[in-house]
Amino acid sequence: METFGGIEAGGTWFVCVVGDSERSILAEARFPTTTPEETLGRVVAFFREQNRVLPRPISALGVACFGPLELAPGSPRFGCITTTPKPGWAHTPIVRTLQEALDVPVTLDTDVNAAAIAEGTWGAAAGLDNFIYLTIGTGIGGGGVFNGQPLHGLVHPEMGHIRVPHDWQRDPYPGACPYHGDCFEGLAAGPALRGRWGIAGESLPSDHPAWALEAHYIAQGLHGLICTLSPTRLILGGGVMQQAQLFPLIRAETVRLLNGYVSSPSILEGIDQYIVPPGLGHRSGVMGALALARRRS
Ligand code: ADP
Ligand code: ZN
């Protein structure tokens, strides 16, 4: 049986799994994100031990990583975490370190691209070639899969930092993005809910006016993404989207803002299947890491 390794490399935890191509998890461990040396040392020790007990060693490793990352294949810094403010992690050559220590091919992508690939392999976008996964949590991040491939580019998309119109009269909150203030993430990620209303999203009642405004901003973000990339489905995950009442509000507001211009039955008649929750829930990151490895082999 062929097995693969996956690492969901997050700012708080590194989650490591060994799985097979049918997505069965054979082993799992999580290590707190401390220094690169300590954290990657524990990750390497985990996979070495797995290689020892498995009938045959893992054949590839996928890493779904917090960014920003250098993903341009020709770059001398290919496979590195680049300018993160996370202490000690800037310019960490994560691909080279793992490749040398474990002697397997390593595929790195952003956590959101990996989550999108997992959703396209096993989840809410199974069988689709063109779709977007957006997470709305501590920040807003988007992963796009187009023609079956994750979107990269100059760096990689930063869909959370697009600009959305901000009506200062309706919403005097200045926004929480340290770079842009009232960009999409600055207005609509979890910290903006807390900043604007003084109460964290998870503690706001489901009939609070916060949700109509939140849906308005999310729909504006989706409007921009739909018009730019023309995804055939939009998957919305992350902590804030645990508020299930947001889905109907976002769908209705997106249709309203598009105003009939994008004349596809998916939007005009099938919006409930067009804007959807993830099929893999909070597991899409780690399953994405596994899916990255599986695609490589
Ligand atoms: P992260 O983005 O850090 O990976 P999450 O996706 O869980 O983690 O997002 C955390 C953010 O989402 C926090 O700002 C938190 O207040 C908010 N959040 C978490 N759960 C809920 C919820 N049930 N309803 C609304 N907001 C939530
Ligand atoms: Zn921003």
pLDDT tens track for 238-287: 999 999 999 999 999 999 999 999 999 999 999 999 999 999 998 999 99
Structure tokens at 204: 């706001």
Q: What does each C-alpha distance from 293 to 78, 235, 276 come to in angstroms?
A: 17, 22, 26
Q: Evaluate: CB of 117 within 6 angstroms of ligand 1.
A: no
In CATH terms, the superfamily for domain 3-113+282-296 is: ATPase, nucleotide binding domain (3.30.420.40)
User: Any idea which ligand is nearest the CA of 177?
Assistant: 2
Beta-bridge partner residues of 140: 136
Structure tokens at 70: 């250098």
d(CA 60, CA 99): 10
Work out which ligand 1 atom sits closest to the CA atom of 243: 24
Structure tokens at 247: 């889905």
> Ligand 2 center to residue 101 CA distance, Å?
36
> What would the 3-class secondary structure string for 227-244 be?
HHHCCCCEEEECHHHHCC
Q: Using the predicted structure, report yes or no on whether residue 296 has a pLDDT greater than 80.
A: no
Q: Give pLDDT tens digits for 197-210.
A: 999 999 999 999 99
Q: Which residue has the higher pLDDT, 36 or 73?
A: 36
Mutation pick for ligand 1 pocket among 202, 206, 235 (CB with most ligand atoms within 8 Å): 202
Bond into 73 cis (ω within 30): no
Q: Cβ neighbours of residue 74 under 8 Å, at least 6 residues apart?
A: none
DSSP-assigned states of every residue in 162-184:
SB----TTT------BTTTBSBH
DSSP-assigned states of every residue in 46-97:
HHHHHHHHSSS--S-EEEEE-S-B---TTSTTTT-B-S--STTTTT--HHHH
Domain locations along the chain: 3-113+282-296, 124-277
Q: Give pLDDT tens digits for 149-196.
A: 999 999 899 999 999 999 999 999 999 999 999 999 999 999 999 999
Task: Work out whether strand 234-237 and strand 275-276 pair parallel, antiparallel, or are unpaired.
Answer: parallel
Place of tokens 């919403």: 171
Q: Evaluate: CB of 288 within 6 angstroms of ligand 1.
A: no
- At residue 55, the pLDDT reads 92
d(CA 228, CA 149): 17
Cα radius of gyration (the chain): 19
Topology of domain 124-277, per CATH?
A: Nucleotidyltransferase; domain 5 (3.30.420)
Q: CB atoms < 10 A from the CB of 89, how many?
A: 21
> Ligand 2 center to residue 116 CA distance, Å?
21
Q: Using the predicted structure, report yes or no on whether residue 92 has a pLDDT greater than 70.
A: yes
> Ligand 2 center to residue 139 CA distance, Å?
9
> Ligand 1 center to residue 145 CA distance, Å?
24
Domains 3-113+282-296 and 124-277 share a fold: yes
Q: Using the predicted structure, report yes or no on whether residue 297 has a pLDDT greater than 60.
A: no
Confidence of residue 67 (pLDDT cuts 50, 70, 90): confident
